[in-house]
Amino acid sequence: MYEKLRNTINIIPDDSESSTYRFIIVAAKRARQLQNGARPFLPSTSKKPTVAAMEEVRRGLVKYEDSLRDAALEQPVEE
Q: What is the C-alpha to C-alpha distance for residues 65 and 29, in angstroms, rounded to an integer?
A: 13
Model pLDDT for residues 33-46, shown as the tens digit of each residue: 999 999 999 898 78
Classify domain 2-74 at the CATH class level.
alpha beta
18-70 per-position pLDDT tens digit:
678 888 999 999 999 999 999 999 898 788 999 999 999 988 898 887 766 55
Q: How distant is the alpha carbon of residue 2 from its chain centre?
A: 23
**Dist CA 4 CA 8 (whole Å):** 6
Residue 29: name the closest of 56, 67, 2 by CA.
56
Whole-structure pTM value:
0.65
Tell me the domain boundaries of the chain: 2-74
Distance of alpha carbon 14 from the chain centroid: 12
